[in-house]
Structures are given as structure tokens and as C-alpha cells.
């Protein structure tokens, strides 16, 4: 029942939040005005404005505009009242009263002063008397719930707000949990651990959003340190990244790159998967020896001597001198393409020695050093333009790209055997890349090194870069030149500006864009979701991307489906951080109702009897059901479910084995959640090898409200508890 006191409090809170929005709008307007002025170059600087200064202004003010633009919905979501009666409002960002010693009007949820909002309980009230949580729509406060702290009968979880959030219909993307973070989650979000943190939790425990909020917290508390290098977030699928991609921007963080493991090498993007045997082989660190052997196999001696016909003499590249050149190049310790220069130098020296000895026979000795070296220089020039010599070099020590080497390896049983590779790696189209190939391509970048550019092209590039640099210097100084037109022809200025703008644009890309396009970019922090699926080779790539070894790793070993994935966190981390990693479990299931979790737990017992399922905090009152249909009735039954759910608010999905129309594989729903889920032919999902039980477990735990199962044959024994 709404009382007069409650209504008066509600009106007061509405007025306060409305005033916060007024202040936010004013700050936005000021920031946008300054941003536009910076774009026009109107900001007055006593020391003289340069393009570099103005670019810095544009960047800084652009970030401020973006920061202020994230808070239209749910700007303020709660209030704390201390025992002394002081009130603090908590929201997505901080707002201050500039006319009153910058008194905080709204505390950023990441600020230390806001922590009590998440961790205060009846047993430990953190000097707080009351926690108030707002229910908002847009800019309007609809109502609020109060939790009185420090009293024996007070709840410890703030269940009213929490259960309202988890019972709400799902949307297309993941929403943040910043208004309903629980103490267990907040402890992990704010954990002061600089290295690798592993968060493990079953379905519905909120491990993904906890990891993302931890990133937002780190970016807030370590802004300068984190911002220059950004954060990489790795997810299991593009659909998952779409789902979570709005969480960090909604919290004001944009220096974040979202990728799957299939995107980690620029220029390659794949979601295709290998068969289990090939995935297992490619994911093992044993592939390092295979790749090294595959590179060495392309450094070869000729089976028969190769004649090189010069103007005055014919020399031969035989196995002896080629073998010597190969050994010298390998001993140089450089990547393959870089070491090719050593191979070429040694081979060139050996051939010219032989040629000089024959040409100068009877009249030239080594004592005549000047004549000897003069003749050598002529022979070197001749070899550099010699098509036969170039062809021999490309045959004996070819320049290779990761794609050309790996593709040729997969297509050749002979090359696979020579490299000691598993025969399951053979395929007809060597370049039909899978996600398991990406870490191998990345490894080959280091093993092969760069390809030497064509000298004429490189010279032209250097000249253009030098010209552009000169243009930039000229443009910086042009304000001083405007009174003296003889210094700068108008046509030259237009052309120079166009060229310089191209170089400036390259430098002015957003951090996320620059990082995603640069294989050698290193991140300050990396988040890995569904981490149990990553192979040893995947981890090698990610550790290379983050030399500081600052990771938030999220997973559930019970949901592992990949044959190359983790069976133990310790074993996977040992090669990189040994035992220097922290582990935090999440045990409470906020998403999956108890009725559905009971069904999923029976499946979990079948394939992972030692794993304790997470405890659901709520019931939905709807029992999961099963229905047996004839094979010819299956598609119609699926359509009935889809039509019925389309009439409801929220989201739904049909999950089934490959080949059933209208269904999606369980693997593509990992990390996602839906109001209603229909699982089709669970017996066929279970039959998909060792990973089948894990996939069925994933499928059953995607639902937040309603779960149904369609089957043609008998229900698997682990699902016998379903209502028919």
C-alpha cells in the first residue's frame, strides 16, 4: 500500500534525479561546445596553437562528450543513508557541484565511497542505516525499495531489486548489473590483484558481467595506466560479443577491443571449427615443434646441382654449398624471412668465389685484392639480376607468409609427415581457416619474420613519408606564413593539406581500431570469457598480447566442450604464471530458476558428478516440460513454440542438434540468456561424442523463465524428471 509518506519521498527523489539530469545536460552542452570549438581550432592558447595541441584537445573533449552521453537511462539508481543521516546518491558517473567546493551530487558506482551500496548487509552495515534502490524508466523514477540495515530482520541481499531485475524480460543485448551487484560479486570486481584472476561459476552466476564490471572498475581506478594500451575482451562467438558489447560503453568505457579467438590475427576472421581430433592436435603446445619443423623443411638443398649460367662462366649450386649457407643462416638466430639475407649472402659469396677462381685462372691471384674484389662486385651485380639465381633462391629458401606455409602444409601428406604432424591435419583446401588455425598463424608471424619489401616500393614509401612530415611542419607554422604569400603557393597548400590529412587520420584512429588492426599491439588487461574452451596454443597468443600478465579469466570447467580446452586451471596457467594466480568462485545462480536448474543438475551429475551446481535464488513457478512427437510432427511442434513465444514479451530460442531446421547449436548460445528455451532431440545432442553432455547442460541453462523439450525417441535417463 502506498502511504502519504512514501509518495512524498518518491516525489522528492524524482525532483532530485531530475535535477541531476539538468546538471548532466548542462555539462554535456558545455563539453560539446568546447569540442566543436576545438574542431574549428577556436580554442585560444597563449603559447600558440598547433595541430598537435588541437588534436589533443579534440581527443580529450571527445572522450568527455562520450563519457557524458552514456547515462541517459538509469543515471542514478540508488541512495545510501548513513547512521548520521547523511545521504549519498549512487549512479553511472560522478557529478559535482562546482559552486559548492565540488560537493558530490552523484557518486560514480566505482568510487570507494560507493562500495557500501553493494557490500553492506544486516550483519555488517558499513555504518549505513538504509539502502534505497530506484526503479527507473528513461529519466523517470517509477518507485523505490528500501532495505534497512543493521537490524536482525533485514534481508542481506536486497532481494526486491535483485529479483525484479532477474525476473524482467530479456532484451537482445546484455544489460549491466551495476544497480544490483551483490556482495560476492562486488568483492571480485574490486579485488586488488594485479595479475591473473580466475572467476569460475556455473550458469547464471553472473560471471561475465562481473568480469566486465571489473574492467570498468580497473579503468576507473587505474585510468592513466590502463587507457594508453586499452583492454581486450575475448568471447566465444560473434553473437556473444554482440550480446555483451554494450555493457562497457554503457558504463562509459570505450577503449576496449572485442574479439573471438578467430579474430586475433589481423586479416583473418573465422568461426569454423575443426573435428575434435584436429582441434586437439592443433591446440597442443606440441604444435610448436611441428611449426618449427615445417619452416625448416622449406630450407632445402638441391637434389641435383643447379647450374647458374653467367656471362663468362657457369657455376653450380650443389648440396654442399647450399647446406653450408643454410647452416650459417640458421645459426644467425633470426626468423626465416630475415635469415634469408644471410643465406643469400653466403651463397652469393660461395658462387662468386668459384666464378672468380675460374675466370681469373692463370692471371689473377688473391694477392691482387683490388682486382679480385672488383670482379666480385661485377659478379654480384650480375647475380642480383639473374632470373635463374632468383629462381634457385626461391626454391631453396623461399620467402614465406604464415598463410602460404600453413596452407601448403595442410595440403601435403608428405610435408605433414616430414614435420611430424598428426595426419588428422590434412585437408584439401589448406587455407580454409578454422579457429584452431589462428594461434598457429600467429606463431608463424614470429617464426617467419617480415618479408623484405621491393626496394623501389620502399624507397617511394620513405619519400612520401618524408614529404608528408615536411608538410605537417609547414602546416603547423602556416599561421606565421599567412602574411608572406611568397613562402607558400596556394595550390601547394591544398595538395599538401590533403596528403597530410591522410597521415593525420591514420594517427587519429580510436585506440580500439588501432589495436584491433595491429598484431603487435599489447594490452594492459585482457578478459577471457568461456575460458575453459581455449587451448594451450590460444593461451600462448593471449599471453603474447599482454606481457604484464594482467587477466580476468571467466569460465566453468563443467561446461567445457572443446577437446583442446582446459581440464585444470592450474595446468593451463603453469607455463605462463606458475602458481601466481588467484581463484574466486561464484556460487549463486541469479538467472536460472530452481525448477529449471533441477533438470540441468541431473545432467551435470551424469558427466561431472564432482561438480556442485550453483544454487538458484529464485523460483519461477513454471515447471519445465517435455513432449514426445512423431518425426513428421517435429517441425510443426517447433513452429507452435515459436509462434507462442512471439506473442510474449522477451526473447526465445530453439536449440537442437545439427541438421534440424529452425534450431541453433548449443555452442552458439554459450554465454547468452533467453526468457524461453526449447531443446529439440536431446538424445542426439548427447550423442555428439564427449562434448554432448556438456552441450545439453548449456542448452538447458539458457532459460530464465520457461523450458521445454521435444523428443522423438525415449527421453534420456537424465531428463526423466521432466513433466510430460
Question: Per the annotation, where are the binding residues for ATP?
Answer: 201-208
Picking from 395, 393, 402, the residue whose alpha carbon sits closest to that of residue 438 is 402
Picking from 607, 535, 530, the residue whose alpha carbon sits closest to that of residue 571 is 535
Sorted by sequence, the CB contacts under 8 Å of residue 292 that are 6+ apart come out as 447
d(CA 355, CA 480): 63
Using an 8 Å Cβ cutoff, are 537 and 440 in contact?
Answer: yes
Burial of 218: CB neighbours in 10 Å, binned 0-12, 13-18, 19+: buried
Picking from 379, 313, 384, 402, the residue whose alpha carbon sits closest to that of residue 344 is 384
**Cell output for 93:** 558517473
Torsion of CA 643, 644, 647, 653, to 10 degrees: -70
Picking from 185, 103, 110, 183, the residue whose alpha carbon sits closest to that of residue 147 is 183
d(CA 198, CA 175): 22
Task: Give φ, ψ of 419 to 5 degrees.
Answer: -90, -5
d(CA 237, CA 671): 9
d(CA 106, CA 184): 24
Helices 4-40 & 51-68 angle (0-180, nearest 10): 160
d(CA 87, CA 81): 4
**Cell output for 337:** 624471412
Strand-pair category, 196-201 with 551-555: parallel
**Cell output for 123:** 550483519
Strand-pair category, 306-309 with 314-317: antiparallel
DSSP 653-703: EEE--TT-TT-B-GGGGTT--EEEEEEE-HHHHHTSGGGHHHHHHHHHTTE
C-alpha count within 13 angstroms, C-beta hemisphere, residue 2? 8
Picking from 63, 66, 116, the residue whose alpha carbon sits closest to that of residue 86 is 116
Which residues are paired to 525 by β-bridges?
A: 231
Q: Sign of dihedral through CA atoms 213, 214, 217, 218? A: negative
**Cell output for 329:** 643462416
Strand-pair category, 525-528 with 551-555: parallel
Looking at residue 565, the DSSP 8-state letter turns out to be S
CB atoms within 10 A of CB 319: 14
Picking from 607, 621, 615, the residue whose alpha carbon sits closest to that of residue 688 is 607
Picking from 557, 588, 586, 558, the residue whose alpha carbon sits closest to that of residue 570 is 557
Residue list, annotated binding site: 201-208
**Cell output for 543:** 599471453
Which H or E element spans position 444? helix 438-448
Sorted by sequence, the CB contacts under 8 Å of residue 630 that are 6+ apart come out as 712
**Cell output for 143:** 518507485
Q: Sign of dihedral through CA atoms 111, 113, 117, 120? A: positive
**Cell output for 83:** 547512521
Task: Give φ, ψ of 72 to 5 degrees.
Answer: -65, -35
Count how many residues are written for the chain. 724
Strand-pair category, 103-108 with 95-97: antiparallel
Strand-pair category, 103-108 with 87-91: parallel
Amino acid at each position: 500500500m502506498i502511504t502519504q509518506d512514501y509518495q512524498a519521498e518518491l516525489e522528492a527523489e524524482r525532483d532530485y534525479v531530475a535535477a541531476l539530469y539538468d546538471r548532466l545536460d548542462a555539462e554535456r552542452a558545455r563539453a560539446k561546445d568546447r569540442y566543436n570549438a576545438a574542431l574549428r581550432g577556436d580554442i585560444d592558447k597563449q603559447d600558440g596553437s598547433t595541430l598537435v595541441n588541437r588534436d589533443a584537445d579534440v581527443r580529450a573533449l571527445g572522450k568527455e562528450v562520450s563519457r557524458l552521453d552514456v547515462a541517459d537511462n538509469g543515471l542514478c539508481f540508488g541512495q545510501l543513508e548513513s547512521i548520521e543521516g547523511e545521504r549519498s546518491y549512487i549512479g553511472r558517473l560522478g557529478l559535482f557541484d562546482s559552486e559548492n567546493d565540488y560537493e558530490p551530487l552523484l557518486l560514480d558506482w566505482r568510487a570507494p565511497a560507493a562500495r557500501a551500496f553493494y557490500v553492506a548487509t544486516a550483519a555488517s552495515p558499513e555504518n549505513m542505516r538504509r539502502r534505497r534502490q530506484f526503479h527507473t524508466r528513461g529519466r523517470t523514477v517509477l518507485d523505490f525499495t528500501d532495505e534497512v540495515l543493521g537490524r536482525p530482520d533485514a534481508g542481506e541481499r536486497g532481494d526486491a531489486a535483485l529479483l525484479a531485475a532477474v525476473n524482467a524480460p530479456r532484451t537482445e543485448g546484455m544489460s549491466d548489473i551495476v544497480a544490483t551487484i551483490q556482495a560476492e560479486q562486488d568483492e571480485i570486481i574490486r579485488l586488488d590483484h594485479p595479475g591473473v584472476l580466475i572467476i569460475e561459476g556455473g550458469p547464471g552466476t553472473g560471471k561475465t558481467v562481473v568480469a566486465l564490471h571489473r574492467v570498468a572498475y580497473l579503468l576507473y581506478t587505474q585510468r592513466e595506466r590502463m587507457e594508453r594500451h586499452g583492454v581486450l575482451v575475448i568471447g566465444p562467438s560473434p553473437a556473444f560479443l554482440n550480446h555483451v558489447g554494450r555493457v562497457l560503453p554503457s558504463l562509459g568505457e570505450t577503449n576496449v577491443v572485442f574479439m573471438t579467438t578467430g579474430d586475433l590475427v589481423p586479416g583473418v576472421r573465422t568461426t569454423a571449427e575443426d573435428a575434435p581430433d584436429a582441434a586437439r592436435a592443433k591446440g597442443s603446445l606440441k604444435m610448436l615443434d611441428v611449426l618449427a619443423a615445417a619452416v625448416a623443411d622449406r630450407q632445402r638443398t638441391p637434389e641435383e646441382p643447379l647450374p647458374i649460367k653467367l656471362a663468362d662462366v657457369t657455376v653450380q649450386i650443389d648440396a654442399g654449398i647450399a647446406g653450408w649457407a643454410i647452416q650459417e643462416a640458421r645459426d644467425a638466430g633470426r626468423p626465416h624471412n630475415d635469415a634469408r639475407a644471410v643465406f643469400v649472402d653466403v651463397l652469393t659469396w660461395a658462387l662468386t668465389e668459384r666464378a672468380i677462381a675460374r675466370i681469373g685462372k692463370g692471371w689473377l691471384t688473391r694477392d691482387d685484392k683490388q682486382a679480385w674484389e672488383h670482379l666480385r662486385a661485377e659478379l654480384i651485380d650480375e647475380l642480383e639480376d639473374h632470373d635463374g639465381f632468383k629462381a634457385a633462391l626461391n626454391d631453396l629458401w623461399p620467402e614465406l607468409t604464415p598463410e602460404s606455409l600453413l596452407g601448403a602444409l595442410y595440403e601435403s601428406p608428405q610435408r605433414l609427415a616430414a614435420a611430424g604432424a598428426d595426419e588428422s591435419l590434412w585437408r584439401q583446401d589448406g587455407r580454409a581457416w578454422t579457429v584452431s588455425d589462428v594461434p598457429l598463424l600467429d606463431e608463424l608471424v614470429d617464426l617467419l619474420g617480415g618479408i623484405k619489401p621491393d626496394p623501389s616500393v620502399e624507397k617511394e614509401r620513405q619519400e612520401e613519408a618524408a614529404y608528408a612530415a615536411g608538410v605537417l611542419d609547414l602546416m603547423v607554422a602556416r599561421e606565421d606564413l599567412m602574411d608572406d604569400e611568397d613562402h607558400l603557393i596556394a595550390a601547394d597548400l591544398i595538395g599538401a593539406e590533403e596528403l597530410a590529412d591522410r597521415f593525420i587520420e591514420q594517427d587519429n584512429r580510436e585506440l580500439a581500431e588501432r589495436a584491433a588492426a595491429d598484431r603487435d599491439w599489447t594490452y594492459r588487461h585482457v578478459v577471457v570469457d568461456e575460458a575453459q574452451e581455449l587451448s594451450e596454443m590460444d593461451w600462448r597468443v593471449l599471453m603474447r598480447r599482454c606481457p604484464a600478465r594482467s587477466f580476468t579469466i571467466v569460465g566453468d570447467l563443467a561446461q567445457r566442450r572443446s577437446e583442446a580446452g582446459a581440464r585444470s586451471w592450474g595446468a593451463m596457467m603453469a607455463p605462463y604464471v606458475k602458481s601466481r594466480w588467484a581463484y574466486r568462485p561464484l556460487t549463486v545462480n541469479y538467472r536460472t530458476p530452481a525448477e529449471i536448474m533441477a533438470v540441468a543438475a541431473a545432467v551435470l551429475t551424469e558427466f561431472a558428478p564432482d561438480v556442485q551446481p550453483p544454487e538458484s535464488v529464485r523460483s519461477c513457478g513454471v515447471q519445465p516440460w517435455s513432449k514426445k512427437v512423431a518425426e513428421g510432427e517435429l517441425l510443426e511442434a517447433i513452429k507452435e513454440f515459436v509462434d507462442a513465444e512471439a506473442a510474449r514479451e522477451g526473447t526465445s530460442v530453439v536449440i537442437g542438434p545439427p541438421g534440424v531446421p529452425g534450431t541453433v547449436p548449443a555452442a552458439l548460445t554459450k554465454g547468452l540468456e533467453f526468457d524461453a528455451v526449447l531443446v529439440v532431440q536431446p538424445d542426439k545432442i548427447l550423442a555428439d561424442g564427449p562434448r554432448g553432455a556438456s552441450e545439453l547442460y548449456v542448452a538447458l541453462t539458457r532459460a530464465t523463465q520457461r523450458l521445454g523439450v521435444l523428443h522423438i525417441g525415449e527421453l534420456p535417463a537424465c531428463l526423466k524428471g521432466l513433466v510430460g
